[in-house]
Amino acid sequence: MLGAIIGDIVGSRFEFNNHKSIEFELFHRDCSYTDDSICTVAVADWLIQKGEKQIGFATMLQQWCLKFPNPMGGYGNRFVHWIGEKDPKPNDSFGNGSAMRIAPVGWAYETLVETCSVAAEIASVSHNHPEGIKGAQAVATAVFMARKGHSKVEIREKIELEYNYDLNRTCEAIRPDYRYNETCQQTVPEAIIAFLDSTGFENSIRLAVSLGGDSDTLTCITGGISEAFYGLPYEIEEKGESYLPQEIRMVVAGFYDKYLFAFDHARCFSQIRINSDKTVGNRSSF
C-alpha cells in the first residue's frame, strides 16, 4: 500500500499543473500527501482492525478525513459533505475516489472472490454507482494478481474480460489528448495502462504523471499496482516515508506487519524494512 501513497506524493504537485513528460524531479519540496493517501490509510487501518473492533468502514473513513481535514488539494465537494454527515449515505458516485483508496484490499485476502467482495463493500459506502464499484474492483484485482505473481498479460486479459476496460492502448497514444477527469471510467484504465507499459516502479509513476489528468490519483492507483508487481526500491520507500506524519507511518507499518507476510504465497520484498528478514514465497494462482 505504500506504493499507492508514494504515487500520490509524487503526483501531488501535478494535479492542477499537468506535466506531459516522464522527465521531472521525482520528489520535490512542493510534493505532499493528499486526500488519496488519507483515504488509502483509512482502508488499511480498517483492515488492520477488522475482526478486533466492530467499526464500519464509513465511520473509519470519516474519522481519518476529519483527523486530516486539509490535505494538499483538499477533498471533492460532494465528499466533503459526506465526511460531515452523522449518518453518511452513498451518493451514487462513479468518481475515481473509490478506486484510489483500494490498494490495501489487494494485499489482505487469499482469494480473488473475497478481494472483489470487500472492494465493493469499501467502495459502496460513498461510491455506490456500478462504475464506482467496478473501478475499485478492477484496481483491487490488479493488485491481487500482481502480488500473486501473475504476468502483465494475465492481468490485462483478466481485467479486460471482467471489467470491459480497453487496455490495448499505450501511454504514448493516450498522452496527447488526455485531459483532467475524475471518473473511474477515464482514470482507472489509464492508470492500469501506465503500470502495464512500465519497466519498473519508478518508471510506472513517471508514465502516470506524463499522461496528465488527475495526476495524484493516477499515480496513486498505478503505484499501488506497481508495488505489488515490482516491489519498492529502498531509496524511494525511504524518501516517500519522509513526507508522512508519524500517525500514518504507524498504520503503514501495522498493515505490512499484519498482511504483507501473512500468506505463504504472497510476494514479499526484502527492500521493505518491516520484517525484512522474511523470505519470498512461491507463486500461486487465484
The answer, yes or no, to whether residue 160 has pLDDT greater than 80, is: yes
In a domain, 270, yes or no: no
Range of the domain at 190: 2-12+32-260
Q: What is the mean pLDDT of the chain?
A: 90
> What whole-number distance in Å separates Cα of residue 71 and Cα of residue 62?
14
The answer, yes or no, to whether residue 285 has pLDDT greater than 70, is: no
Q: What percent of the chain has pLDDT over 90?
A: 86
The separation between the first and the last C-alpha atoms of the chain, rounded to the nearest angstrom, is 20
In a domain, 164, yes or no: yes
In a domain, 211, yes or no: yes
Span 10-28, average pLDDT = 97
- Tell me the per-residue pLDDT of 86-126, one tens digit each, with 9 for 90 and over: 999 998 999 999 999 999 999 999 999 999 999 999 999 99
Do the beta carbons of residue 194 and residue 172 sit within 8 Å?
no
Q: Could you tell me which residues come within 8 angstroms of residue 141 by beta carbon, excluding any fewer than 6 positions away?
A: 106, 112, 115, 116, 119, 155, 158, 159, 162, 163
In a domain, 280, yes or no: no
How many Cβ atoms from other residues are within 10 Å of residue 44's Cβ? 30
* H or E element in which residue 78 lies: helix 77-84
Strand, helix or coil for residue 95: strand
Instruction: Quote the pLDDT of residue 51.
Output: 65
> What whole-number distance in Å separates Cα of residue 214 and Cα of residue 211?
9
Q: Which three cell numbers stand for residue 36?
A: 488519496
In a domain, 47, yes or no: yes
Span 64-93, average pLDDT = 92
Q: Which of 203, 183, 201, 217 is nearest to 103 (CA)?
A: 217
In a domain, 183, yes or no: yes
Span 30-54, average pLDDT = 92
Strand, helix or coil for residue 22: coil
Q: Which three cell numbers stand for residue 76?
A: 471533492
In a domain, 283, yes or no: no
Strand, helix or coil for residue 182: coil
**Residue labelled with grid coordinates 489528468:** 213
Do the beta carbons of residue 97 and residue 126 sit within 8 Å?
yes
Annotate 215-266 with DSSP letters as a single string. Answer: HHHHHHHHHHHHHHHH---HHHHHHHHTTS-HHHHHHHHHHIIIIITTSTTS
- Tell me the per-residue pLDDT of 179-232, one tens digit each, with 9 for 90 and over: 999 999 999 999 999 999 999 999 999 999 999 999 999 999 999 999 999 999
Residue 108's CATH number: 1.10.4080.10
**Which DSSP category does 263 fall into?**
S
Do the beta carbons of residue 272 and residue 260 sit within 8 Å?
yes
**Which DSSP category does 244 fall into?**
S
**Inter-axis angle of helices 35-49 and 246-255, nearest 10:** 50
The 10 Å CB-count burial string (b at 16+, else e) for 21-33 is: eeeeebbeeebbb
**Residue labelled with grid coordinates 516515508:** 241
The number of domains in the chain is 1
In a domain, 160, yes or no: yes
